[in-house]
Amino acid sequence: MKTVLVTGGAGFIGSNLVRHLIRAGYRVVNLDKLTYAGNLASLKDLEQDENHIFVQGDVCDGMLVLELLHRYDCDAVINLAAESHVDRSIGSPGMFVRTNVVGTFEMLEAAREYWHALSEERSQGFRFVHVSTDEVFGSLGDSGSFTESTPFQPNSPYSASKAASDHLVRSYHETFALPTITTHCSNNYGPYQFPEKLIPLMTLHAVEGKQLPVYGTGLNVRDWLHVEDHCSALRLILESGRIGDTYNIGGDAERSNLEVVHAICQTVDELCPSDQPSSKNIQYVRDRPGHDFRYSIDASKLSSELGWKPSVSFEQGIKDTVSWYLSNPDWVTSTREKGYHGQRLGTSANSMTDQLTQSTERELGSTVDKPFDGVVFEQLTQYTDDRGWLIELYRNDEIPIGNEPVMAYVSQTMPGVSRGPHEHVDQSDLFGFFGPGDFRLYLWDSREGSPTFGERFTVVVGESNPQSVIVPPGVVHAYKNISLRPGIVFNAPNRLYAGEGKKEAVDEIRHEDNQGTPYQLVDA
Ligand SMILES: Cc1cn([C@H]2C[C@H](O)[C@@H](COP(=O)(O)OP(=O)(O)O[C@H]3O[C@H](C)C(=O)[C@H](O)[C@H]3O)O2)c(=O)[nH]c1=O
């Protein structure tokens, strides 16, 4: 039995692929970070399957990847882990660069080291299949199709990050002879797709009688590939694809967005009849910035070389998919627990501002120019001598009573990446920002009854402004590394993380898991 390390295996395509591979007789090691898009409910039927080994972890953690490759004696990697939603990449490009580019780099490095250590026979059979997208090729007019040799012309931060990762994969084959294969697929649909994407979003909105937001004219065209067809193509490429090559995978089903929405409405109306057609809720809304007009995939290489063809027609696939969403309300609920309820994402370059103004959860007040009561800033002094410098932090004879630290930790945060926003019920955080790196610190007062309730304060701290900051319970906080290199933050909270012996619940209300949160990291 062969073992494949699948990354992102709790996501939409990933969970379908894991299931497909296990049914085909593979053992799968499934590495997934479980971000908002990863969901163990999508793998429920595999819970007891001994050929499914789930590991929660990050593709950016190269040591973990290497360890898993060795521990499970893997024969191949299929790299699916990615931030995949174009609209989110408009608001938060940094996490796309981190997961899609840095993550792929770490995967390649780990795979290279592992592959080198394999016996001659095993190393010849090893494969690194990298799953990418047709969006790297840019946008088409009314005619033409992308072939494997179409030059890259990505238009969104998402597609640019995927293009960068594809280049890295190519370079690892050319330079180190790592046996890689890259695939470019068109728009996938089917069961377990997170309801931020067109088809599940429109399905759920139609069923719930909500507005159906069609971007721009609705005439943009996508080629639709049923996820099961995608999985069969990936397996075929894994087993028989040519090393160092790339393959396009398409569904041979080009449709305008309006055609797709009408097809969904028709199925919803058949399955849940009501007095008025669902299509009455179609609304044309502001276009997506940089919205690619048309994607069209020429998958003839895959069909002529490996004999693959899509087997699910768009008409049948849409019916099955709509009815799957109607029959799986628990799964839909599990996605909503991640904080996304169908709100519009990424309407402008400053899309976080849009979300803030759209949010109905809580009206936030203005940004203030001094910190709130209970938040204590102190300029840190660097005592410098020939050896370097030293900073004193949190002397017990100086800090406000009740804030005495009980533990300390240090974290590294990559450039452009943020931590938070979150808040604590009992805990005060006693931060030290002294470098390396500069951070924009965001604070919101969420203590009801506080005179500054709802207000926000932001400041740049770190290397260029060394500060200690005490953040009391009820003050929502987040910080983002705004420098070009990894940054360090020190924290000495006055509560133990997860309590004595790590046996208690973590005192943390994590607004970062809620995409619609009013606590958004915008600089204005
Ligand atoms: C969410 C939404 C989308 N749209 C439009 C925007 C696009 O023209 C089309 C499909 O949008 P969606 O965000 O579902 O997918 P794409 O932007 O085409 O990208 C998708 O397919 C490629 C291959 C990947 O590689 C991406 O990972 C995947 O997300 O519907 C609307 O009109 N209204 C909406 O509410």
Domain boundaries, the chain: 3-287+296-358, 376-513
Residue 20 above 80 pLDDT? yes
Please say whether the beta carbons of 481 and 415 come within 8 A. yes
423 is catalytic: no
- On the question of pLDDT at 361 being above 50, the answer is no
- Residue 34 in tokens: 């479980």
Instruction: Give tens-digit pLDDT for 408-429.
Output: 999 999 999 999 999 999 999 9
- Per-residue model confidence as pLDDT tens digits over 113-155: 999 999 999 999 999 999 999 999 999 999 999 999 999 999 9
Q: 155 alpha carbon to ligand 1 midpoint, in Å?
A: 13
Q: What percent of the chain has pLDDT over 70?
A: 96
Interface predicted TM-score (ipTM) of this complex, two decimals: 0.99
| 420 dihedral zone (left: phi>0; alpha: psi -120 to 50; beta) | left
What DSSP element (H or E) covers 475? strand 475-481
Task: Pick the closest to residue 22 from 231, 312, 249 (CA basis).
Answer: 231
What per-residue confidence (pLDDT) applies to 247? Answer: 98
For residue 214, the ligand 1 atom closest to its alpha carbon is: 32
The CA 198 to ligand 1 mean position distance, Å, reads 6
Residues with CB under 6 A from ligand 1: 84-86, 133-135, 186-187, 197-198, 201, 213-215, 220, 222, 257, 288
Domain 376-513 fold is Jelly Rolls (2.60.120)
Give the per-residue pLDDT at 517. 84
Look at residue 524 in the predicted model and tell me its pLDDT. 46
Q: For residue 39, how many other CB atoms are within 10 A of its CB?
A: 22
* Cα–Cα distance, 243 to 259 (Å, whole number): 38
Determine the average pLDDT of the residues in 191-209. Answer: 97
Q: What is the DSSP letter of 516?
A: T
Confidence (pLDDT) at 362? 38
Query: Among 12-16, 60-64, 76-80, 359-363, which is the least confidently predicted range?
Result: 359-363
The protein residue whose alpha carbon is closest to atom 11 in ligand 1 is 198
Catalytic residue among 158, 172, 394, 479: 158
State residue 483's pLDDT score.
87
**For residue 347, pLDDT beyond 90:** no
CA distance 206 to 216: 19
pLDDT tens, 280-296?
999 999 999 999 999 99
Catalytic residue among 87, 134, 229, 423: 134
Mean pLDDT of 27-40: 95
**Who wins on pLDDT, 312 or 342?**
312
Nearest CA to ligand 1 atom 3: 198
Catalytic, 135? Answer: yes
Q: Which atom of ligand 1 is nearest to the CA of 202?
A: 35
Q: Which of 75, 135, 166, 254 is catalytic?
A: 135
Task: Give the residue, out of 139, 152, 222, with the most ligand 1 atoms within 8 A of its beta carbon, to mutate for a pocket test.
Answer: 222
For 462-480, how does the pLDDT look when each residue is reduced to its tens digit (9 = 90+)?
988 889 999 999 999 999 9
CATH code that applies to domain 3-287+296-358: 3.40.50.720
Say how many CA atoms lie within 13 Å of 369 toward its Cβ: 0
Residue 335: which of 202, 158, 200, 512 has the closest Cα?
A: 200
Residue 187 CA to ligand 1 center (angstroms) comes to 8
Distance CA 113, CA 66 (A): 8
Instruction: Write out the H or E segment, with its range, that includes residue 172.
Output: helix 157-176
How far away, in angstroms, is 196 Cα from ligand 1 center?
9
The answer to whether residues 456 and 366 touch, using CB atoms and an 8 Å cutoff, is yes
Distance 477 CA to ligand 1 centre (A): 32
- Whether the pLDDT of residue 357 is over 50: the answer is no
At 228, is the secondary structure helix, strand, or coil? helix
Sequence-distant (≥ 6) Cβ neighbours of residue 414 within 8 angstroms:
60, 98, 102, 481, 486
What's the pTM? 0.73
Query: For residue 516, is pLDDT > 80?
Result: no
d(CA 225, CA 13): 11
Closest CA to 184 of 141, 139, 230, 220: 230
pLDDT at 400: 87
409 catalytic per annotation? no
pLDDT of residue 60: 94
Q: What integer best gives the mean pLDDT of the chain? A: 93
How many angstroms separate the CA atoms of 291 and 389, rounded? Answer: 50
Distances (CA, A) of 481 to 35, 414, 436, 515: 20, 7, 10, 20
